[in-house]
Structure 1
């Protein structure tokens, strides 16, 4: 058995709240049922910034990054046979590490896996780059790293050669978008209102049209994002800063209130607005993360009870990777145009400044770990 380290991996680490450090770690060869992924690209998500600021628990020290794609760097014999993979194959690994055995996993809702095994020192609802500390062996649990540990329970997808790495980095946010569309049961002929034209919101527009939506309206505040939404299937846009009656503007655009409203802005005001834009008996999907301490207010009878709408949270990306990879392969929408900024791992602090301040018309920024 080979026991020597495979190589050395660079990593960006959050050792504590508000601090970013660059360091290295040894990468050990995988066990028979495991593989090691060579990270090529990792997207920068607003969640990463919230983690750094301490808004999402206390996972420190943490290697962030959950929007990663790359290739097989090393693979154990059992994993190679079970997954039909070999060194050099292009892959995406889902950010969730489900147990596959709990009641939630049995339902197919592995995004809310209930696994609770204190013996391994890992949290319930294990997520790469979010809540698994670097102190958990082997320390390769986030995409801001040259290499990533992929255990037997990880969900791995093969990526086609035709999808460039920068575009492939959108597979996770697009999977989140498909999950939200699936939760809203968007089907042929539906009208859809989307609140929040960030990267995921733009991808929700494409996913809704792929699902058969007849008309889509995007609600937001940034004119450049609203303009871009039209290239991703949006038929109408509403700038909520420029109209006095957002509800009326949405109804005018769609010929009535929406069958489905999908909120992805990640602010409580947007979630409160969402329930007012849907028709009686319609569906509202709340997919934007607002932070653990955020509370949202609805009119219990006025907005919910007497209109009998479905309010459906959508968490992460379960079931979304397959349609996401198919959509990126089909390339019906200009996905590559969303990746506007590329940074090296050593430039992560500069990248965060750009994303946080929304400088230079940034849409999506990625870290390039290897070309």
Structure 2
């Protein structure tokens, strides 16, 4: 699809579950202290797949998370194309520079924003799910509002590496929530894009043992390349026996749940030792039901959530610039916007790990 009208652009538009259309829409313009970026790439996240499939956390209840129609996409980066009045000074950028905006657009007024905990903003506008502030990055161009948090991307970082900055920031925050120590046995459940990035980050923390669990051998092989000491495929391995053999029968010190499957929660409660640290990252498509007495009465666990990547984008960019973390092996497919139907099909299958949408 070609676009010769400078006032129009190509975009994927979410109208309802499984009703995403490639359309010609009005190209955004930059208002005061705003900018417009030309999208270089936008990843399809597991949450995008769940949203497309109609998971109730996105569409259910009296106040649904998704407010359609909306252009999806929060794993984006691009080139500064237009700067509104005062935007250059406000964001500290110039036309042509590569930039990324954090996925949340803080309101700046609620108790969380005022206390520096902006990632838990009460209003909680996230690019690609609601239009109150701006659309997402599955388009030719995207408007960045004044309250967005913007970071510049060095020229030496490849397109594929730049495209994983957002999920890598989430991975860093999650591993940090685990408070990994040198003598810890750490288990990461799930070797999808986030789990594989968490593996690389956790490896940099040099725990005593790093264990990764997944059902796909190809992903476990990647996990070993990224620093996992032990990999477990529950289809043929007894995860509990493996972990106990590494810990004198006690269980792991840190369990990071990133499978997105309810079974991963129950598995973690079995594998983790008493007084261990359980970090929950996943976005679930269904309710996860567990025996809460394990958390309190039996093990007195420290259960920690992990949401987004606050204060971690500069760290992610630095790790990529220094070659300490890589997208190689994680980014497996690239599609144009016009190929959306094929892209979401592949993203929703074991055939891919990370799928990128590339407008050009």
TM-score w.r.t. length of structure 1:
0.88
Whether the 8 Å contact between 2:42 and 2:356 is mirrored in structure 1 is: yes
Determine if the alignment matches structure 1 residue 262 to structure 2 residue 270.
Answer: no
Q: 2:154 aligns with which of 160, 164, 172?
A: 160
- What residue is the counterpart of 1:274 in the other structure? 268
What is the RMSD computed on CA atoms of the aligned residues?
1.9
Return closer, same or farther for 1:305/1:101 CA change in 2, 3 Å cut-off: farther
Give yes or no for contact 1:100–1:153 (8 Å, CA) kept in 2. yes
Structure-2 separation of matches of 1:214 and 1:88: 45
- The corresponding residue for 2:62 is none
Aligned to 1:363: 353
The answer to which of 218-227 and 249-258 deviates more is 249-258
5+ residue gaps, structure 1: 115-123
Counterpart position of 2:139: 145
User: For 2:218, what is the secondary structure of its paired residue?
Assistant: helix
- Can you list the C-alpha shifts for 1:236-258, whole angstroms capped at 9, x where unaligned? 10111112x32221232455522
Q: Tell me the distance in 1 between the aligned counterparts of 2:293 and 2:21.
A: 50
Contact 1:69 1:165 in 2 (8 A): no
Instruction: Compute the displacement of 1:357 (Å).
Output: 2.5
**Which residue of structure 2 lines up, in the alignment, with residue 174 of structure 1?**
168
C-alpha distance in structure 1 between counterparts of 2:137 and 2:45, whole Å: 12
Q: Would the alpha carbon gap of residues 28 and 222 (structure 1) be closer, same or farther in structure 2, given more than 3 Å must change?
A: closer
Q: Distance in 2 between matches of 1:82 and 1:353?
A: 40
The counterpart of 1:106, out of the listed 89, 103, 114, is 114
Matched, 1:127 2:126: yes
TM-superposed CA distance for 1:39, in Å, is 0.7
Q: Verify: 1:85 aligned to 2:104, yes or no.
A: no
Partner of 1:17: 17
Check whether the contact 1:236–1:253 (CA below 8 A) recurs between aligned residues: no
Residues 20-44 of structure 1: per-residue CA shift (max 9 Å, x gap): 2111222343122111111100011
Establish whether residue 219 from structure 1 lines up as the match of residue 213 from structure 2: yes
8 Å CA contact retained: 1:195, 1:270: yes
Q: Which runs of 5+ in 2 are unaligned?
A: 60-65
The answer to whether the 8 Å contact 1:39/1:70 transfers is yes
User: Which residue of 2 is the match for residue 44 of structure 1?
Assistant: 44
- Paired residue for 1:229? 223
Q: CA deviation at 1:267?
A: 1.0
Following superposition, the deviation at residue 15 of structure 1 comes to 1.7
Question: 1:277 and 1:106, CA in 2 relative to 1: closer, same or farther beyond 3 A?
Answer: farther
Question: Of residues 290, 299, 302 in structure 2, which corresponds to 1:310?
Answer: 302
Give the deviation of 1:46 after TM superposition.
Answer: 1.8
Asked if structure 1 preserves the Cα contact closer than 8 Å seen for 2:175 and 2:201, the reply is yes
Matches within 5 A, 1:237-256: 237-243=231-237, 245-253=238-246, 256=250
Change (3 A) 1:266 1:28: closer
**Residue equivalent to 2:334:** 342
Shift of 1:183: 1.5
Partner SS state of residue 290, structure 1: coil
Between the aligned partners of 2:206 and 2:311, the Cα distance in structure 1 is 18
Inter-partner Cα distance in structure 2 for 1:157 and 1:252:
44
Query: Match of 1:327?
Result: 319
What is the SS of the residue equivalent to 2:19?
Answer: coil
Equivalent-residue separation in structure 1 for 2:119 and 2:111 (angstroms): 12
Distance verdict in 2 for CA 1:230–1:313, change over 3 Å:
same
What secondary structure does 1:13 align onto?
strand
CA-CA distance at 1:6 after TM superposition: 6.5
In the alignment, the residues of structure 2 paired with residue 107 and residue 282 of structure 1 have an alpha-carbon distance, to the nearest angstrom, of 29
TM-score, normalization by structure 2: 0.91
Deviation larger for 172-181 or 17-26? 17-26
- Report the CA distance between 1:303 and its aligned residue: 4.2
| Count of paired positions | 347
Name the structure 1 match of 2:63: none
List structure 1 runs of 4+ shifted beyond 6 angstroms. Answer: none
